[in-house]
Amino acid sequence: MQDETGVLAGDERMLIDGELQYTSSGAKFDVIHPANEEVAGQATDGTVADMERAVAAARRAFDTTDWSRDVEFRHHCLIQLAEALEAEKERLRRILVTEVGCPVTVTGSQIDEPINEVRHWAEHGKAFQYIVDNGVHDTPLGPAHRKIVYEATGVVGAITPWNVPFYLNIAETMPALMAGNTVVLKPAQLTPWSGTELGRIVAEHTDIPPGVFNVVVSNANEVGAALTADPRVDMITFTGSTATGRAILAAAAPTVKKTMLELGGKSAHIVLDDADLNASLPLAAMMACVMSGQSCILPSRILLPRSRYDEGLEILKGAMANFPMGDPWTPGNMQGPQISEAQRQKVLGLIKSGLDSGARLVLGGGIPENLPVGYYTQPTLLADVDPNSQVAQEEIFGPVLTVTPYDTEDEAIEIANNTIYGLSGEVSSADVDRAFRVAQRMRTGNVTINGRSHFGINSPFGGTKQSGLGRRNGEEGFKEYLESKTVGMPPQE
């Protein structure tokens, strides 16, 4: 909270039923700035009782107000919110860097783009056809004129992670709101302020009615669990680990809740033998280090043709060795700390497991000597990685690339598909048609070819296998928050 470019704490309060408030006991928990390991501020430590009140408010707002039926009003409220977020975006940027440690240089995708997405969903939802004429159909009981009606699902519980918290708070709640649902947001414990600030701005600068949007922050896991199990909640949307996703599915099963899950990833980058290595591999190195490797879609497994293996390793090594890492407040730095000491130790432990299983350390592998304070991890490059080893199978969520050689295209595809995950992938080749054929054989929800990103607000995004259920973004993503109702009636004369 010192100066215009330094640490800034966010709002401590939750938003429940239109009121910004502390938990009744007054309990709070600390929020640590990952770059200096110091307490940057606090947030109210919500309880299961707080969550139950938030769900009750959301249920009442959905059942007794016109929110789900008034598209124009929803559009009005989301445009208000977008304008308010734009006015406060530099404050939000400082708070994000404070609680995440994300370098200020790369906050555009985490602050500016999500604000634009609020406007996108406002316009998308306003233009969406909620009633679609399905035509006249012959039936044994006579001709039936059918219409498809799209209606809001109900109360949506959104549980978000800490790696890109402001973006995901927007991505998981704005289409839900614009579709006519009411929402209870449970932000991650490590990054509560990206949620509390959103709640504050909703309360202070929009006409969103009480109960329509609620934010409950807590340092206790049982508070999020109470949201997933509550029978008054109709849908859970969650981004996070596959292990937590499994628990959410189990908790949602007794009430058969709709679930949308974006879970872990272990994406492979297949570099074909005709690829321009000097174009593809420096970008691969950058993607491993930006956000400190804390990205679910990171193509962390590099598969190189054996004929070009040594050449590729040298290019990766050079790019990672010179990557700008350090204080997230310093412009130009693009890799900051891990989110916490626990996360750093997880990363270091997986690196060690790779070395223990026969991998070769080409670069990094530890804590940078010039950054003794803060949860920093060296950019790390592991070669000769066994594709069945732990480091090649488990999501690392750190600035680590594993490199494995292959002999044939079929072998590369087999290695790429040999995990429980299927979120993303990448292919590099001088022949785009060849790359596309390989991409079609990868069992993932998304594939990038030659650095052209698959990710965008107009394109569906999500995983296969144990990387999730459902899709965000695009028309498919908006419809996830709606239920379709088919109505049959006599044809009109």
Question: Which residues are known catalytic residues?
Answer: 262
User: Is-contact 95 194, C-beta < 8 A?
Assistant: yes
Q: Alpha helix locations (H) across 322-441?
A: 341-356, 390-393, 409-416, 432-441
Length of the chain: 493
Q: Which two tokens stand for residue 346?
A: 């997880």
Q: Which two tokens stand for residue 105?
A: 């240089």
Output the CA–CA distances (angstroms, integers) from residue 64 to 61, 116, 318, in the order listed: 6, 31, 61
β-strand pairing of 360-363 with 380-383? antiparallel
d(CA 434, CA 308): 18
Output the CA–CA distances (angstroms, integers) from residue 287 to 40, 86, 129, in the order listed: 28, 27, 38
Output the CA–CA distances (angstroms, integers) from residue 215 to 5, 113, 143, 239, in the order listed: 27, 22, 49, 16
DSSP character string of 143-184 = -EEEEEEEEE-SEEEEE--SSSHHHHHHHHHHHHHHTT-EEE
Q: Which amino acid is at 56?
A: A
For 33, the 3-state DSSP assignment is strand
d(CA 335, CA 337): 7
Output the CA–CA distances (angstroms, integers) from residue 39 to 21, 29, 259, 338, 373, in the order listed: 22, 10, 35, 16, 14
Distance of CA 159 to the CA centre of its chain: 10
User: Is-contact 213 174, C-beta < 8 A?
Assistant: no
Q: Which amino acid is at 20?
A: L
β-strand pairing of 400-406 with 380-383? parallel
β-strand pairing of 144-152 with 131-137? antiparallel
Output the CA–CA distances (angstroms, integers) from residue 121 to 77, 164, 260, 427, in the order listed: 12, 19, 18, 31
